[in-house]
Amino acid sequence: MRHHLVILLSAALVNNFTLVMFLGLCSFLGVTKKVATAVRLGIADTFVLVITSIAATVLNKWVLGEAPYLRVIAFIVVIASMVQITEMVIKKFSPKLFRELGIYLPLITTNCAILALALFQTNRGYGFLEGLTFSIGAGAGLTIALSLMASLRERLELADVPAVARGASMVLFIASFLSMAFMGFAGLLTGG
């Protein structure tokens, strides 16, 4: 149990996928203008992460044992089809949510966090349950980073930012400070 808790906290906070490992930055910089959208994207990301983790476990166990050099190719194909399936399921059961997510849904395929999760899980030799915990932690971490960034950017709209720094560079500076804050979590697992 303690082992799983460590994996969960490590993925969500200490080694936060976005702010510490630099994964999934496209959506982190591009889709964080509004809190509501950011949170929804985070949840969709988590969903795909969990399915990908299960699929990666299955692939590693029964398909890729003999051919590790096919790993990247197999993973990316599985991720692309998982995103497609997620899209169809959401469209069928909740057309409203589907409209709200719009273009961000298919773009999850090129979110490097998803592929990275499958690769890390393989490299660390996680089993089914460990992989599941890892993916939930990573998803929570992405959602936390996205919503923090979005809330800061909403506040930033009202702030008096010099014209040259407006836009990308200001967002990057904020990300830098957020990342610095997350470095503080490093003591969480080693010290405690």
Give residues in contact with another protein (CB under 8 A).
Answer: 19-27, 29-30, 69-73, 76-77, 80, 107, 109-112, 114-116, 119-120, 123, 163-165, 167-173, 175-177, 179-180, 182-183
d(CA 72, CA 53): 14
Nearest to 13 by CA among 181, 192, 152: 181
Residue 23 CB, nearest distance to another protein (Å)?
6
DSSP 63: I
DSSP 34: S
Backbone angles phi, psi at 22, to 5 degrees: 55, 50
Nearer to another protein, 72 or 89 (CB): 72
DSSP 24: S
Nearer to another protein, 140 or 175 (CB): 175
Residue 1 CB, nearest distance to another protein (Å)?
28
Residue 2 CB, nearest distance to another protein (Å)?
26
Whole-Å CA distances, 28 to 107, 116, 151, 185: 12, 16, 12, 20
Nearer to another protein, 80 or 97 (CB): 80
Nearer to another protein, 150 or 175 (CB): 175
Residue 90 CB, nearest distance to another protein (Å)?
19
Nearer to another protein, 158 or 163 (CB): 163
Look up residue 18 and give its amino acid. T
